[in-house]
Amino acid sequence: MKLLATISLSLSLLALSNSLPSNDSAIIDECVKCGSVNCLVSRMSLQDKIAQKLMPDVQGWQVGVAPGGTCSRFPPDVITTNSEVDTYLKKYKFGGVILFALNLRDTAAGIRLVDAFQKSNAVNNKIPLMVSTDQEGGLVTRLGLGTMFPGNMAMAATGNTGYTSQAAGIMAKELKSVGIQVQFGPDVDVNVNPANPVIGARSFGDDPAQVSLNTAAYVTAVQEQGTVSCAKHFPGHGDTASDSHSSLPLVNKTRSQWEAEDLPPFKAAISAGIDMIMTAHIQYPNLDSTQLVSAVTGETIYLPATLSKTIQSDILRGELGFKGVTITDAMNMAGIVQQFDPVDAVGRLFTAGVDIALMPIPVNCAPKIDNVQLVIDHVIDLINDGTIKMKDIDDSVKRILKLKMKYGMLKLDDTPVEDKVAYGLANINTAASKAAEKQISDDAVTLVKNDPETGIPFKTTSQSNVVIFTAVTSYTSSFTSIMNDLNADFKFSVNSFQGNVTYNDTHKALIDSATHIIIGSELGANTPAITGSGVIDQGASTTTYRFNFPRAVLDEAIAQKKPVVLLSQRVPYDIGYYPDAPTSVCIYGVKAITNGVYGMPNLKSGISAILGITKPKGKLPVQIPDTVGNILYERGTGLTL
């Protein structure tokens, strides 16, 4: 009878935990006042605990779709909230939301959007949202009018970790002034694979020690601003040959290789007091050899790191002693959705011990709102059948709430929204931050090779004609604006070869007329394979034209003895494919003009160095191989003028 009574009582308590009344501000105030997250967790229903572990996105929303209707794949951008989004945020007591560039194109509008989301959430949820975004700097930035900075690899090229601290601190301060509390940065992956299609210049380099030093500087600077720093992507995405946004990469590195190459920056981040770490959607069989058959494709795969209890709990928490919050990379990435049902994937990641599911299931119109309930119900089922322990859920929610308490996120900021806008506008993209951005970007420019007769700085006169070729059409306006901004007193033209353009007599005529030539190289995500004759193997058309066109221009310029610079626009590895270029410069990233501003400062810095307005000071933070894998330029290479 006692056993039956105990079972009955346990079932009653479980039912009660699913239906406790909503937490209210008085209770929360009292719990916060006494500094007890145990108090908060004890007042939450099971559904609310699970929702606290979900961080959806609200990038696009199609208003007015009837029940049972089909949502557009490309709904309108959410720049301002609407009644359906409000209903969505009121229905579930989410732990947070992630914002993207689509939401943050305009500073004032972004501030109002964050404020509106917090107020919608506060109607039924007295625990405010934790608002996040990716503002790494460089190639990955979301704050449209914020200070971009040149990115991790460029900052490492300066050899000055003080610059890393300065840039990270400014970006963190700008995020906080918009109401965003979590910076998904730094990227601490060690980019040991030159063909890595997703990390590249987002990394500080290929030397674990150098990456570790910059990681610690970045993390400390972000958190000193009262913003959460999140290191990514554990256990390391720097040696992948494919992109987890479009596939499920496999890393066959041994455990000892991982410990030597990928692990040190994560240890440095933990030692620096990092509060959050993001997972990677990669297969890592020498860390977890568990195999399963994909319910989607039917193929046998290794359990991805995001879903691996061995990697996320045993290694990250057990061996490394990380006590902070863990969060997944976006769960809508192909590395997950091509192999797992989304609802099942969330259950697996919580079983693995990850705290927060980022973008757990797509919701972009009213009929999809109830998809969240499918996720919550599935997790409850896993708790009820013992797959997930209730204690693990409670411990996870406590970690999230401790983080919120630490950074003052348990109290809604009731400052009038227009005051928030005024503060944000005064603290974003200031003259001081732009000056810092320019200095760091200028000092990162790396002159790897310089012809003593025809190299940089270009010797130009009013009669000169500088001809620029670029692989990306959208960059033509950037080049043009930069040349105008720099008050070029000579003739110039910008010519794109995007779209499988074949080198022809028109291009030769441009070279014939040129006094100086700049070739903007950007080989793209898939670094090409080269045959013994030096001609690209025919593969993806994008890679073909991006290699063969610059090759033809370079050959003609060399034949005519014209001053020519190979400008590696994104990853520095491009210069390994043109070893005969008389002069080679690396800038570590470029974006087109967006919202009337340069997406990155790097291109302007590179052109300034070529024209002699500034002097290149950077050193390669990676080794550059030639086309057969031999090291062409050692890490640390960099000429000064």
Residue numbers annotated as active site: 245, 329
Asked if 171 and 229 count as a contact pair (C-beta separation under 8 A), the reply is no
Q: Tell me how far apart the alpha carbons of residues 445 and 617 are, in angstroms, rounded to a whole number.
A: 6
Tokens standing for 317?
Answer: 């928490």
Rounded Cα–Cα distance for residues 158 and 160 (Å)? 5
The Cα-based distances of 270 to 33, 230, 264, 399, 568 in angstroms read 28, 11, 10, 15, 34
Separation CA 455–CA 565 (nearest Å): 7
Contact 257, 285 (CB under 8 A): no
Supply the DSSP symbol for 23.
P
Q: For residue 452, which phi and psi values (nearest 5 degrees)?
A: -65, -20
Q: What is the 3-state secondary structure (H, E, C) of 222-253?
A: HHHCCCEEEEEEECCCCCCCCCCCCCCCECCC
Q: Are 114 and 180 in contact (CB under 8 A)?
A: yes
C-alpha–C-alpha distance, residues 354 and 393, integer Å: 10
Quick one: three-class SS letters along 354-419?
CCEEECCCCCCCHHHCCHHHHHHHHHHHHHHCCCCCHHHHHHHHHHHHHHHHHCCCCCCCCCCHHH
Q: Which tokens in the block code for residue 513?
A: 């007329």
Q: Where are the beta strands (DSSP E) in 60-134?
A: 96-98, 130-133
CA distance 225 to 512: 54
User: Which helix (H) or strand (E) segment is 556 a member of?
Assistant: helix 541-559
Q: What angle do CA 404, 408, 411 make, to 5 degrees?
A: 95
Question: What is the SS3 assignment for 416-432?
Answer: CHHHHHHHHHHHCCCHH
